[in-house]
Amino acid sequence: MIAKLIDAIKTPQTLNLAETKEVNGHAMAVYKPRRFLPGKVYEIPDDPLLLKSLKNCTRQSPYTAELEMTLKNCGASYETKMCKSCGGRVKKIEYHVVEVSDEAD
């Protein structure tokens, strides 16, 4: 499996991701920060927890038409939402940060 930041992201990102670690013969979930650079492709170890963590990694930003157009143009998965904490007055856009795929793609 390989992973990379979506094309809409142009700055390095540090993501706090869950991984499986063996301690005294027992599998434990640990969180580790991992640095991703734009345009660089990363080989992902065969760890189901890390893979799930990467696929579920999202960011939420204030909505702008420019951001939505950028996400559309690069084919990123996103969703627009109304902010629940302010009673729905502010529109937000939530998007997946990392693309994960098989090497065959």
Q: What are phi and psi of 76, to 5 degrees?
A: -75, 150
Instruction: Write out pLDDT tens, residues 5-50.
Output: 999 999 999 999 999 998 888 989 999 999 999 999 999 988 999 9
Q: What is the largest CA-CA distance in the chain?
A: 51
Nearest to 91 by CA among 58, 62, 68: 62
pLDDT of residue 68: 94
* Enclosing domain of residue 28: 2-101
pLDDT of residue 105: 47
Q: Higher model confidence: residue 56 or residue 88?
A: 56
Containing 80, the helix (H) or strand (E) segment is strand 78-82
Domain count, the chain: 1
DSSP classification of residue 41: -
Instruction: Give the confidence band of 104 by pLDDT, cuts at 50, 70, 90.
Output: low
The whole-model pTM stands at 0.80
Residue with tokens 């529109």: 91
Specify whether the CB–CB gap between 20 and 49 falls below 8 A: yes
